[in-house]
Amino acid sequence: MRAKARILFEAIETRPGLAAVDALAYLDVGCGVGSFHPYVAGRFAQVSGCDVSGESIEKAKAANPEVAYQAYDGGRLPYGDRQFDVLTAICVVHHVPPSDWPDFFSELRRVLKPGGIACIIEHNPFNPLTRLAVARCPFDEDAVLLSPRRTRGLLAGAGFSALSTRQFLFLPWENRVAVAVERALARVPLGAQYVAIGEA
């Protein structure tokens, strides 16, 4: 989770049109039990999360009382138009039925303010260890892995611009040397995961 938080904040820092982090409203789509939120709570002006599992949302609320959580039905996100500056969907899209991918990405864009960014973090299907881990995970029985190119295409199809991708999780730890190596390898398409970023 620490690496994902680093990737998120680096993505924000590279977008000069965004305000300072502590002035931004952030949404985590498909947040599960909120495991990511201790790494970001207190950094943003507002942190929100939503998930299709009501049970997970209740656990997230108990663990992170400072975060605003909502359950939703997997269709229309339970937020108004242009409400957030930054959002993430972390290892979520591969659980969405492929026929619903265009609508899912359109919803992401709808809730973002103009100039806001979506950071889509996904498993890299070109990494053999990732494929093995997914194949062995009961939770991923329905998973349909997306390539970085496919994810960029879905972002573009929903009207996102200024698209970029980078690979990460080449190394299993997070220290100064590992971060330097990860940054140097960001364009090598063999990281365990990748982030695809689009601007609304």
pTM for this prediction: 0.93
Report helix, strand and coil shares of the chain as percent, to nearest 5. 40, 25, 40
Please state the separation of Cα 131 from the chain's center in Å: 19
Distance CA 50, CA 26 (A): 11
| Domain annotation for the chain: domains and CATH numbers | 2-199 (3.40.50.150)
pLDDT score for 131: 85
Yes or no: say if 200 and 116 are a contact pair by the CB < 8 Å rule: yes
Nearest to 121 by CA among 73, 154, 166: 166
The CA-CA-CA angle for residues 11, 127, 198, to 5°, reads 25
pLDDT score for 2: 87
Distance CA 23, CA 78 (A): 22
pLDDT score for 137: 83
Distance CA 128, CA 178 (A): 21
Distance CA 82, CA 113 (A): 4
Distance CA 13, CA 86 (A): 12
For the chain, residues with pLDDT lower than 50 are none
Q: Classify residue 85 by burial, with Cβ atoms within 10 Å: 0-12, 13-18, 19+.
A: buried
pLDDT score for 1: 83
Nearest to 86 by CA among 109, 112, 67: 112
